[in-house]
Structure formats: C-alpha cells, structure tokens
Structure 1
C-alpha cells in the first residue's frame, strides 16, 4: 500500500516505474491495473489527480479517486 501510494504521488510516468518492474521486490506484480487507471486519470486531468489507497487489510481495500470538480458543459472534464 505504501509503495503504491509513493508511486502514485510521484511525477514519473515511464514504464519502468510501473509496479512489478522493480527487480528487488518479490510478488509486486498484480498492481498494473491500478497503475493504468491512475495514469489515465493523470493524463486526462493533470498531476494533482489520480488514485490514493486509503486502507488495505483482510477486509478489503479502500481507494480514493481524486478528480477535479467540473461545472458547466464545456469545462473539458
């Protein structure tokens, strides 16, 4: 959870920064879907927006999706 949140907070967007690409981290694959969603949100709305994992335990995972507040029809949102 902390590792993904650090990656979500970084400004890097290269493929080598995807989860699962770190050679020293075992079992880190399986998070590429979250990373893809986060990067798509950033591409659409900018760096302040995207995903943040609030809580992750045996009961489940809570993910915060940060989006801009859009008003009107022609705001580009």
Structure 2
C-alpha cells in the first residue's frame, strides 16, 4: 500500500472514486459495444496502485451483475 495506509483506510478513502470510475466505464459500454471489453480491460490495467484497479474491477462487476437481473 502507498503511504503506509492500512488496507481498510485505503479502501475507505478510494471507494467513492472507484465507484465513479466503474460507472464511467460501465456507461461507455453502449457506445463501444463489441470493442468495450478490450477497452475496459486496458483502462483497468492502467490504474495504479493495483489495489485501486482491483476495487474498480469489483465495482464494475457489481454493476454488470445488477444490470443482468
């Protein structure tokens, strides 16, 4: 973790931003259609630190699951 933050502190400080990022990625799906999966993978891969990228990935998964029900 960066700056000596505990995992819980990092999570609480970045959760809202991760949710906003996941929503932005999710909302791009309609416009990108078939190209979305490769694009979103590249976006998530570029996020740092890796713990933040994982948070965005989890939030995006949650949005996808909700949209399927």
Normalised TM-score (structure 2):
0.38
Q: Which has the higher contact order (CA 8 A, sep 6+)?
A: 2
Answer 1 or 2: which has greater helix percent: 2
Instruction: Point out the structure with max Rg over C-alpha.
Output: 1
